[in-house]
Every structure is written in C-alpha cells, then in structure tokens.
Amino acid sequence: MTSPSSPQACLGVFDSGVGGLTVLRELRRQLPDVPMLYVADTAHAPYGQREPDYIIRRSLTVAEHLIAQGARVLVVACNTATAHAIGALRQRWPDLPIVGTEPGIKPAVAASRNGRIGVMATPSTIASARFADLIARHAGQTEVFSQPCPGLVALIERGELDTPALRQLLMQLCEPLIAAEVDTVLMGCTHYPLIQSALQQALGPQVQLLNIESAVAQQTAKQWQALGVSGQAAPPILQTTGSAEALTGFVQRALAWPLQAQALRL
C-alpha cells in the first residue's frame, strides 16, 4: 500500500532539452488524466553532439531522478538518448516499462511512393549502431538518405523557430535530400516537429514529412494501462537542469501552455 509520503505515480519523460515537449504534447492528448513529469536536461544539451558514454551517464542520472519522483513508466523522448542509452536503462531497471523514440524507418518506407526516403537526425543518432540496425531491418529495397543536422537542435533550443538563421540552415540541410529526389522525409529528432512548417517550406510541397510522436504515445498508453495505476489528473510538471525562466518562456510561446518550469540540479 502506498504510504502518505510516497510520491504520486506518474509518467516520467525526458529529453536533452525542449524537443521532447512534442512527445509530451501527444502524451497529454492521448492520456489526459495521467500525471506527468518532464525533465529537460538543458544544461547538458545537445546530446546529439556528445559522446555515447556521456549520453548514457546523463540518461541514467535523469532516469534515476524521475523514478525517485514516482515514475512508473519512463519515456525516453529523445532519439539520440534512445539510440545510445536505452539498453543501459533497461539493464539498470529491467522491471520498469521504458518506451524509446526511434526514427520510424518502417512507416517511412511504407509511405514512400518512389522508394527514396530521407532521414534528418542528429549526427550522433545517425552514427549509432541502433540506427544502422533499423535501416537493415526495415528499409528493404528502399534507398535511405541520412542527413545529419549539426547545429539545428541548438537553434531550436534558443527559441529560433522561424528566423533567417534557421531558414538558411534548413536550406543547406535539405539541399542534398532534394537533389536525391526523396519523396518522404522522416524527422528523426523530437525537436524537429517544433519547426515543421519551416522544414516543409525548405523541402517543398512534393515531399511528405513524417514524425513518430503519435506512435510513441500509443505505446506508452499501452504500458501505462497495463499497470492498472490510477492517478489524479494534474497539469504536467516541467523541470530543467538549465534556465527555468527560459523553459517557461519557451512552452508559453511555442505550445501556449501556461506552465511554470522548475529549476533542477542533477
């Protein structure tokens, strides 16, 4: 039986920064009555330009905090952390349901009309063995053009969601994909849906953009419902190892959520 001092059971979600908020948004839509705690590890972002061992250490540290705060299901709302750290997380907590976020190669292949797809992701995600395995298992005869996007997450973290600098970088990143005549591009980082409109403009109307937030939320919902845990509905709690003021401003501008973020030292 839960003691009065035990933390309330909740859904724990984390990312290197604000990107995972796109997953949290979908989780709130599909699980409106579930308490949620989100950690943005902004002081250590972006993960996409870190070494794998560093990503693993940070992921374990943040996960430990979320579990101590009552997380009964853990959502790794970061493609890079999933690629490098989800194995270590599952080894550390084998009985904890852990849902990762991976580039949806299989649905992108199914959606393509000409058999040529692009994947935009962080350099670390694209360099990972897990990403290579996804392509090997699901690409089949489809040609996959992987486009690393250094610097893109940093712009988004600074709140540059529609600036000349962002548009210039997107044009540079999309040029090889346009030249490759891909008809489908997968957003392989949870930050990228925050700039989906600008990205679509850079790619052109002939390219369809895919994300995977809905699939992650659906899988999470199954894991949560299987636990049979009841929780008291409440707005999500947002915590960050960076600036609480900056995160508060970001969610209010980008997502129109009237929430106040909390500073966190981890």
**What is the value of pTM for the model shown?**
0.91
Task: Establish whether 48 is an annotated binding residue.
Answer: yes
Task: Establish whether 41 is an annotated binding residue.
Answer: no
Catalytic-residue membership of 78: yes
Asked if 184 and 208 touch (Cβ cutoff 8 Å), the reply is: yes
What is the structure's pLDDT at 146? 98
pLDDT digits (tens, 9 = 90+) for 129-156: 999 999 999 999 999 999 999 999 999 9
Task: Establish whether 12 is an annotated binding residue.
Answer: no
Q: Which domains does the chain have, with CATH numbers?
A: 10-101+214-263 (3.40.50.1860), 105-211 (3.40.50.1860)
pLDDT digits (tens, 9 = 90+) for 38-77: 999 999 999 988 999 999 999 999 999 999 999 999 999 9
Composition of the chain by helix, strand, coil, percent to 5: 50, 15, 35
What is the structure's pLDDT at 5? 57
What is the structure's pLDDT at 231? 66
Task: Establish whether 33 is an annotated binding residue.
Answer: no
**Residue owning tokens 């893109």:** 152
Catalytic-residue membership of 10: no
Given the residues 10, 78, 149, 174, the one annotated as active site: 78
